[in-house]
Structure 1
Amino acid sequence: MTAPVLRIGNASGFYGDRFDALREMLTGGPLDILTGDYLAELTMLILGRSRLKDPQKGYATTFLRQLEDGLGLAHERGVKIVANAGGLNPAGLADAVRQLADKAGVPVTVAHVEGDSLPIPDGFLTANAYLGGSGIAACLRAGADVVVTGRVTDAALVTGPAAAHFGWGPDDLDALAGAVVAGHVLECGTQATGGNHAFFGEHDPARLRRPGFPLAEIHADGSSVITKHDGTGGVVDLSTVTAQLLYETGGARYAGPDATARLDTVRLTPDGPDRVRIDGVRGEAPPPTLKAGLTRLGGWRNEVVFVLTGLDIEAKADLVKAQFADALERGGARPPAEVRWELARTDHTDADTEERASALLRLVVRDQDADAVGRTVSGAAIELALGSYPGFHVTAPPGKGAPYGVFEARPVPAAEVEHIAVLPDGTREVIEPAFRTQELAEAEEPPLPGPYPSGT
């Protein structure tokens, strides 16, 4: 018999989030599913460089270290774990989880989702499509206790478990859209419980010192209640949930491979202390394309920050710029392709300390050639030390420069992307793309009559 409520928690909003969160969520209260979002555009680039050094890596190793303590706890409490920590190598991470489980003597079954990796164009480091939750659902229906994926949408970590639990199919668009909204609220962890909140001043500072991670109580119709474990810090109210709901959205239609959620139909209502109900969400068929993210090394970058103290700040800044340009020219070096100066007037009149009397002049250079931003730039900056403005100093000795990355998003036809659930017994189940799609367009009118409650 299917339980009427599925409790899905979140323990990671990015690669590097609070390490203890997985244990905190497993021990803090009842859960059915615990998710972790480890991937972002920058993370894919980092994992791509990691894979260049070791082809066996390319996944979030932090997740494995968290499981050293958390896998046994999850098994004891009957909690299934779903995470996109597989990054560029979900099969490798799945094998590593199995080895960890065998070593720890924890009898769990592991599955993974793959197929998001796309042919990598020349000059790029990674290329991955954002898959939906259907592969996750297939793994859970096959009895997996742990499911790891590569690049999926953030909301897929919730839509997949919810679809598996309630038996939703691709035509259950309203229910799927409701889960998409719940997943979007959970995806950034403590941003839904008061973290990074614009109106943090309205809450008790003691409650915000260590916000608890959020969870969603999902119902069979796709409605949900956003909350957190009792006794944890943070706040869940209309304000915090609304802020996260609007995070990184750009219109009434929030498109994804499972469903397009109509954000102009979302209803938020208080449901008790630290509880906000989400319902009324209408769904439309997903678009025929998936988002694909590509990363590449953009070149080399260096930075020097000059500290300007006291009077005549603008004149001191002009002197440094002219001297730096002259030093580069006299040295015979080609100037970097991009040279950017920015003066931050952090100084205060009649300041009581040297720091409060200081402004920051930041020099940022970029070029395809590492040498053009390395010692040439560092040397030109530091040779000014005894011949420039009074009180010359920099925040840190300039280095040799470092590579920087570039992210690009492109649409790719969903029918051209493999989506494969590798089940616990090794069976490879091909996930077909949505048979009914709808081109994305600007929303003109909400599909349901208003009015909508305040705060939605």
Structure 2
Amino acid sequence: MIRIGNASGFYGDRFDAVREMLTGGDLDVLTGDYLAELTMLILGRDRLRDQNLGYARTFLRQLEESLALAVERGVRIVTNAGGLNPAGLAAAIRELATRQGLDVRVAHVEGDDLLGDGFPGALTANAYLGCWGIVECLNAGADVVVTGRVTDASLVAGPAAAHHGWTRADLDALAGATAAGHVIECGTQATGGNFAFFTEIGDLTHAGFPIAEIAADGSSVITKHPGTGGAVTVETVTAQLLYEIAGPRYLGPDVTTRFDTITLAPEGPDRVALTGTRGEPPPETVKVCVNTLDGFRNSMTFVLCGLDIEEKAALVRRQLDAAVGPDGLHWTLARTDHPDADTEQAASALLHVTVKTPDAKRAKAFSRASVELALASYPGATLTSPPGDGTPVGVYRPEFVPQSRIDQVAVLPDGTRRPVEPPTVFAGPVADTPADPAFTPGPTRRISLGTIVGARSGDKGGDANLGVWVRDPAAYPWLVHELTVERLRELLPEAAGLDIDRHPLPNLGAINFVLHGLLGQGVAASTRFDPQAKSLGEWLRSRHVDVPEAFL
């Protein structure tokens, strides 16, 4: 088997994780995932200022203190921190190695950047590449492989395929590695972070990052370094498997991974076996992450305390509409106030207002006009922040292009440019309609859904993903019958008018929902209270439903 660790789940994750993973135990490969749809927008704005930027600079600073350690321990590094400029980051790593007197072979992968290739007006346009460029780099002896926009799981599937000598035909093995990569890609979310039943997890003060031990057949064990915080359990792995997916067929550029075939089982403390994963050919197209700029935004929050909350909010709305015009203003009144409260904060509600406008001057004038109401509005008028400039709004949209349109190239340590051919065997669309299990009703008790159900939620552009699972497999038939699309709309009224996809996953005791359009134009443009839908699952778990007493 090959032992692959992860040290980053996003651009901004724990800085010391690279060093911790290199010193905490044995590894063959250390990966780092720095990219998300929002990150590509951030890097695109960086590159507008300086064409030499466009990569995750934090990763380079991490290597300054850890590259020598990786060389000493014989750990190879694979990361997508190259962002929009993998060649630039690879060159910077070579310069760093030279300064530190290290012999480090650095390679990188190109071909994801499709900007100017049919996406007019885009700030960034990057295809999700697969693992075979990484394989070429590792087979050529690279110690560090830098990529741009590859799928997150490819950072794990690539080293596994290179180590075990897999080909494109080894679909089950590739699917198993992809599933393992999906589990560890978000770092400590696999070891107890953001876990619904976090009070049952060991010490989360400083959670350890995850490791996938991947065998030649693609099966794996998910674990972490001994003595690190958090925990690896069947449920923490289940939660992460449900994160930001759609249906049972998880589409990737190299393989379609059948999430409805995955079997999880404990294999000792902090060890979970992931077996049985089946793979099918990939789709004919690959997704392209396209970001465009769409004006400016600014936000202010008014504190409304005590009596007449609705009337106070209405007055502010009339005043601000008159001052800057109602176009592009989005209002949310959060009734956090309590009657007869024993603290001022508990007696207060929050009125959030956001402006979205093509005019940067209007975005700034909006916050100034808000502050000017301080002595001319409702009693006790208070704002939570001073006025400020607006910030650019980025809009994400997914596009799809034929795999044959991608010119993926592995740039090897000696500078050789080796083209990576696209796949030639593809799968057609398949409808997934598993039959619902039988369920016999019994006595119930009205209680929070989260008493017996866990959840994990997140964003996919303007859509939200919401995965739920039962703790007791016997409760799964009840969950399937209880949590229909219509019932979900009742429990989450903000989703009442949305198109919702529902995907049962009996092998995981789970259902995954995709709520289309909940986040509007995506994270950077969303005016929703929770723009990345990270708390959507916790909201659902807090709702009261009639739960069979047999499961309590």
TM-score normalised by length of structure 1: 0.94
Deviations 1:254-313 (A, max 9, x none): 010111000110000000000000000000000010110011112110111110001111
Calculate percent identity across the aligned residue pairs.
63
Structure 1 stretch 186-195 or stretch 349-358: which is displaced more?
349-358
Change in 2 beyond 3 A, CA 1:142/1:291? same
Partner of 2:184: 186
Please report how far the alpha carbon of residue 378 of structure 1 lies from its aligned counterpart in structure 2 after TM superposition. 2.6
Partner of 1:331: none
User: Is residue 2:340 matched to residue 1:350?
Assistant: yes
User: Is residue 2:215 matched to residue 1:226?
Assistant: no
Letter in 2 for 1:428: R
Equivalenced residue count is 439
Letter in 1 for 2:156: V
Report 1:361-380 matches (<5 A).
361-375=351-365, 377-380=366-369
Please report how far the alpha carbon of residue 356 of structure 1 lies from its aligned counterpart in structure 2 after TM superposition. 1.5
SS of the equivalent of 2:40 reads helix
Change in 2 beyond 3 A, CA 1:452/1:368? closer
Report 1:100-139 matches (<5 A).
100-120=96-116, 121-139=119-137
Report 1:214-293 matches (<5 A).
214-293=210-289
Q: Give the whole-Å Cα distance in 2 for the aligned partners of 1:337 and 1:319.
A: 17
Aligned partners of 1:192 and 1:240 also within 8 Å: yes
Partner of 1:202: 200
Which runs of at least 4 in structure 1 moved beyond 3 Å after TM superposition?
A: 451-456
Q: Give the whole-Å Cα distance in 2 for the aligned partners of 1:452 and 1:320.
A: 50
Q: Give the whole-Å Cα distance in 1 for the aligned partners of 2:38 and 2:14.
A: 18
Q: Give the whole-Å Cα distance in 1 for the aligned partners of 2:320 and 2:506.
A: 59
Q: Give the whole-Å Cα distance in 1 for the aligned partners of 2:338 and 2:323.
A: 31
Please report how far the alpha carbon of residue 452 of structure 1 lies from its aligned counterpart in structure 2 after TM superposition. 7.4
Unaligned runs of 5+ in 2: 436-504, 511-552
Partner of 2:522: none
Please report how far the alpha carbon of residue 455 of structure 1 lies from its aligned counterpart in structure 2 after TM superposition. 5.3
User: Is residue 2:14 matched to residue 1:18?
Assistant: yes
Q: Give the whole-Å Cα distance in 2 for the aligned partners of 1:274 and 1:355.
A: 42
Letter in 1 for 2:376: G
Q: Give the whole-Å Cα distance in 2 for the aligned partners of 1:203 and 1:119.
A: 44
Q: Give the whole-Å Cα distance in 1 for the aligned partners of 2:417 and 2:327.
A: 49
Please report how far the alpha carbon of residue 324 of structure 1 lies from its aligned counterpart in structure 2 after TM superposition. 1.9
User: Is residue 2:76 matched to residue 1:76?
Assistant: no
Partner of 2:461: none
Letter in 2 for 1:30: D
User: Is residue 2:31 matched to residue 1:29?
Assistant: no
Aligned partners of 1:116 and 1:129 also within 8 Å: yes
Please report how far the alpha carbon of residue 164 of structure 1 lies from its aligned counterpart in structure 2 after TM superposition. 0.4
Q: Give the whole-Å Cα distance in 1 for the aligned partners of 2:233 and 2:280.
A: 27
Aligned partners of 1:301 and 1:401 also within 8 Å: yes
Letter in 2 for 1:62: T
User: Is residue 2:428 matched to residue 1:428?
Assistant: no
Deviations 1:349-381 (A, max 9, x none): 222221111110011110111122222x23332
User: Is residue 2:357 matched to residue 1:359?
Assistant: no
Partner of 2:394: 405
Partner of 2:427: 438
Q: Give the whole-Å Cα distance in 2 for the aligned partners of 1:106 and 1:379.
A: 54
Aligned partners of 1:336 and 1:372 also within 8 Å: no
Of 294, 308, 314, which residue of structure 2 is paired with 1:298? 294
Please report how far the alpha carbon of residue 444 of structure 1 lies from its aligned counterpart in structure 2 after TM superposition. 3.9
Aligned partners of 2:293 and 2:394 also within 8 Å: yes
Please report how far the alpha carbon of residue 315 of structure 1 lies from its aligned counterpart in structure 2 after TM superposition. 1.1
Please report how far the alpha carbon of residue 122 of structure 1 lies from its aligned counterpart in structure 2 after TM superposition. 2.5
Please report how far the alpha carbon of residue 17 of structure 1 lies from its aligned counterpart in structure 2 after TM superposition. 0.4
Unaligned runs of 5+ in 1: 329-334
Please report how far the alpha carbon of residue 197 of structure 1 lies from its aligned counterpart in structure 2 after TM superposition. 0.7
Letter in 2 for 1:381: S
Aligned partners of 1:319 and 1:389 also within 8 Å: yes
Please report how far the alpha carbon of residue 442 of structure 1 lies from its aligned counterpart in structure 2 after TM superposition. 2.6
Please report how far the alpha carbon of residue 438 of structure 1 lies from its aligned counterpart in structure 2 after TM superposition. 1.0
Partner of 1:140: 138
Aligned partners of 1:242 and 1:455 also within 8 Å: no
User: Is residue 2:41 matched to residue 1:9?
Assistant: no
User: Is residue 2:381 matched to residue 1:392?
Assistant: yes
